[in-house]
Structure 1
């Protein structure tokens, strides 16, 4: 990796926007329903969609790797793991007749 470069991973912005649009649609649907049972069901749906959309909006970027290590960002806190405390493994597995490789990063939880 070149000096001062970093790579980031987060939920694609299109999915974040889609989540907020679905939240707005569910809220509008809740406002239009006449039955109390339907209104409760749709209100719970809107609340779940709003919670998920807020999480993916606030926890961006979720993962960042740079020359100093890996940074994981969540809703409550951000944790940084320096490269000296991370073990990197490439695993190969066979499943359904196909070979798949995964990159595993084991960090110190202390």
Structure 2
């Protein structure tokens, strides 16, 4: 990561809250299990596993996106992906769902498409694109 001085990751406080919620859900599942509520235990356990998976994802895959003079490094469940500035295409995608706009940053290279949202980056994707565009301009000039 030394060659990538600028990076983005989920905010630390969001990850900590996800871990705390997971622990409360675990305690609730154990409580319900001792009370004999099989359905409640199953639902609470599934919620705990989902929240725990998101917390683990936010903990292990840090930073999610990094950029430097050489290009971009993106970390996903499938591993780290490195793209030079010449091969990476960057764009914003705005989607309207339930009356609300959602903005994502897309990094495309060949057959690979990586999509990052506000939670993944810890910042507004528009601001991240501005920084990436400036870095790309410096690297290619």
Length-normalised TM-score, structure 2: 0.60
Alignment of structure 1 residues 32-71 onto 2, 5 Å: 32-33=31-32, 34=35, 35-71=37-73
Q: Is the 8 A contact 2:28 2:44 kept in 1?
A: yes
Q: Runs ≥4 in structure 1, deviation > 2 angstroms?
A: 86-91, 102-110
Q: Is the 8 A contact 1:58 1:75 kept in 2?
A: no
TM-fit CA distance, 1:107: 2.7
Over residues 32-58 of structure 1, what are the superposed CA-to-partner deviations in whole Å (9 max), with x where a residue is unaligned?
A: 112111111111111111111111111
Distance 1:5 1:50, change over 3 A: closer
Q: Is the 8 A contact 1:65 1:71 kept in 2?
A: yes
Supply the RMSD in Å over aligned alpha carbons: 2.6
Stretches of structure 2 that go unaligned for 5 or more consecutive residues are 97-103, 113-141
TM-fit CA distance, 1:88: 4.9
Which structure: larger Rg? 1
- Greater fraction helix: 2
TM-fit CA distance, 1:12: 0.4
Stretches of structure 1 that go unaligned for 5 or more consecutive residues are 96-101
